[in-house]
Amino acid sequence: MIDTELEVEEVVLDKLLDQKDLIVFNDDINTFDHVISSLIKVCKHELEQAEQCTWIIHHSGKCQVKRGAFEKLEPMCTALLEKGLSAEIQ
C-alpha cells in the first residue's frame, strides 16, 4: 500500500513540476478590448478573468494568463502572437 501511495505522489509531483506559465506582456499597441477578446477566444477565459488579466498586464507589465503542460500552452501562445500580443511560455 505504501509503495502505491509513493508512486501516485511521484506521478502528481512530476505533473506539477512539468507545469509551465503562459505569460502575456504589456505593449503600447494593443487595446484593452483586443487583449480581452483574445484571452477569451484563445485561452477560454470568462469575461471577468480576461478583464482582470488585462488590468494586471497594464499595471504590472505582464500576467500569467494560463498554466499547464507545454504541449497545451504552445498553440495558445502561437495564437496570441498571431493576434499581435507579446506572449511567451516560461
In the prediction, which pLDDT does 11 show? 62
Q: Tell me the mean pLDDT per 10 residues along the chain, length 90.
A: 66 70 97 98 98 98 97 98 98
Alpha-carbon span 90 to 84, nearest angstrom: 19
The CATH number given to 19-89 is 3.30.1390.10
Global confidence as pTM: 0.82
In the prediction, which pLDDT does 7 show? 67
Strands 20-25 and 62-68: antiparallel
In the prediction, which pLDDT does 3 show? 66
- The grid cell for 23 is 505569460
In the prediction, which pLDDT does 18 show? 81
In the prediction, which pLDDT does 1 show? 60
Alpha-carbon span 89 to 66, nearest angstrom: 9
In the prediction, which pLDDT does 50 show? 98
Residue in 83, 82, 89 with CA at minimum distance from that of residue 66: 89
What is the number of H-type helices and E-type strands within the chain?
A: 4, 3
